Structure formats: C-alpha cells, structure tokens
Amino acid sequence: MNARWRLPLAGGIVGLTWAAGFRGWMVELIGADSTFSWMTITLILLPGALIGVLLGLAAQAQEAGVVPHRALVWAPMLFASALLDPRILRWLVRTGEGSGSLMVVATALCTGYVVTHWRLTWRTSLCALVAASGTLVLGLMGTMTMPLSTPRGAWVCLYAMSFMVVLGLASALPHRRLPRPGRAAIVAIGATCGLAWACALRSFMVAVAGDESTVTWINTFVWILLMGALAGGLLGWAEHLRRSGRPRRGLVAAPLLFAGLVAWALTAVGDSTFALDTAHGIWVTTLFYGLMVTLALGTSIPLRPESVVTTPVEQNAAG
C-alpha cells in the first residue's frame, strides 16, 4: 500500500467503526424506541469515516515530523451534521432535545486541547471542565436504561465514557504540541481503546441475539470488558516497546484472550440481521467488519518495524 494513504485509510476504518459502535450505544440508551433509517448512514457512519480520515492525515503529518494543518483540529465538528436532519433540529430548537451531537463535539474538541496544552490557563481550565463534565454526563446517561448498580447500567455508562475518551485522544492528533506519552500512558491508552472495542463488541452481540441477550457481571464484565482492556493494554505495551527499539513480537497473541468469546459471538452470523437492503443490516455489518479490521490493525502493532518516535516540535528543533 502507498505509505501516503496508510494512516488516512486506517483512520477512516477506525472512524467508521467508532461511529457504528457509538450508534450501538444509542440503541442501548433508547431501547426499543431506537429506529434505523438511511439517515443513520448519512449522518452518523459517513461523518465518522470522514473524521477518521482527517485525523489519519494529522497522524501522518505527525509521523513525518510536519505540523498538521490547523483546520484538522475541527474535524470532530462533522458529527454536528446530525443537526442537518430537520426533525433533530426542530426538537433542538423547540425542546432542547437532540443536543447530544453538540455535546460529543464539544467534549472531543476540549479533550484534544487539554491533552496538548498542559500550561494552566483559563482556556485550559475551561476546556478541562467541559471535557470532564461532557464525558461524565454522557456516561451517566446510561442510567436512563438501568441503575448504575446493575450490570447493564454500568456497561452502558462505561460504553459512552470509553468511547468519548478514545475520540478525545484522537482529537489531539492535529495539535502542534502533541506530547510524547511514556510507558504507563501508552498502556493506559491501549487499555481504554480495548475497553471501548469490547463494549462495541458486546453491543454487536446484543444486535444479533436481540431479546435473548442478557448482561451479567461475570459474562459481560469479566469475559468481555476486562479481556478487552487487558488485550488493549498488552498491545499498548507492545507499541511502547516498538518505539523504544525493543519489540516483542510474541505480544501479537494478545487478542487470543478473546479466542473463546469470538467463536461464541459469531455463531449467529449470517441471518437476516445482516441483510444489506436495510439501514439496520448495514449498521450491524459495518460494526462487525469494522471491529474485526480494527482488531487486526491493533494486532499488527508488535509486527511493525522498530521506530523511535519524536514530535514535530522536537524534529524542528533538531534541524
């Protein structure tokens, strides 16, 4: 593959998967009242893919030691395109409902700013407040389904919070002062991404199993969410070792933590749930293949060539 398109393509796939997974969170939040239409593809999945491509371009610039174009900072604003739906806009104006997309955008932009600006200023403080409160509010919206003390309520809360943290971290890529994370930070980022991936996988399982799907502390939190966080943390550690010039290719086996789970989750694949002539079928299919491809991308980390990473600012100073 042309190296010029490697990261933008990967970003597009991850962004599409993120959007499909976030739509799964909406299903859990709203329940039986959630409906799918072609607007789901136009106003959720497509913007997610475009944002992923734009952030991939930013990551490519960072990798090349070039400061990304400043306009890329605003890439998450594409999620506000949901307001192009006249019904959503009308609800927002009349009742204040439908502002969730604006909260997602504001939280992502502010998180990206805080991650890259450590100096204590009024801007940083304000953005930190918006980022923290936005992530917390979106997470606690999960209590609309079940109390936080129940497995389903806790899962839906973790679902939203992990997804917002992942989007916020990705939104930091276009900023000039991108920090170079240490081992603990990279492992934590990997664990968060793994947790978000596992939450989305659980949503896919609900979409396939329907009313027969039940969320429990052991089956969901131990065998799915915990395994996802552990696998992500191991792949994060693999990335740290790769950057340090000490790769451990054996960590490519980290996703085997999911070996039994994936075999169980895929037993229902192939029924009418995946029909591509409906918006719901396209969403489920996109979520399934997106999860598989992003897992493959994560698994490839221990196999990538050794690389000592520097930021554009450090490279310019060295020059």
pLDDT digit string (tens) for 248-259? 888 988 887 776
Residues spanned by the domain of 267: 3-318
The pLDDT of residue 289: 86
pLDDT exceeds cutoff 70 at 234: yes
pLDDT number for residue 268: 45
% of the chain beyond a pLDDT of 90: 60
Q: Which of 107, 116, 111 is nearest to 141 (CA)?
A: 107
CB 56 within 8 A of CB 7: yes
CA distance 12 to 143: 31
What is d(CA 17, CA 48) in angstroms, rounded to the nearest whole number?
8
Tell me which amino acid residue 162 is: S
The rounded distance, in Å, linking the Cα atoms of 4 and 59 is 11
Each residue of 126-162: pLDDT tens digit?
999 999 999 999 999 989 889 999 999 999 999 999 9
What's the pLDDT at 269? 47
Question: Residue 4: pLDDT band by 50, 70, 90 thresholds?
Answer: confident
Give the residue-averaged pLDDT of 52-79.
95
Give the Å distances, CA to CA, from 122 to 74, 168, 176, 237, 300. 20, 20, 19, 34, 41
Tell me the pLDDT band of 83, cut-offs 50, 70 and 90: confident
- Does the reported pTM lie above 0.95? no
The structural domain count of the chain equals 1
Provide, rounded to the nearest whole percent, the portion of the chain with pLDDT above 70: 86
CB 261 within 8 A of CB 230: no
Residue 148 is encoded by which pair of tokens?
Answer: 């936080």
* pLDDT in the model for residue 175: 96
Distances 281 to 106, 138, 265, 276 between C-alpha atoms, Å: 30, 26, 17, 5
**pLDDT reading at 216 higher than 50:** yes
Q: How confident is the model at residue 305 (pLDDT cuts 50, 70, 90)?
A: confident
> Above 80 in pLDDT, residue 274?
no
pLDDT for the residue numbered 59 = 96
For residue 189, count other CB atoms closer than 10 A to its CB: 19
Average pLDDT over residues 276-293: 87
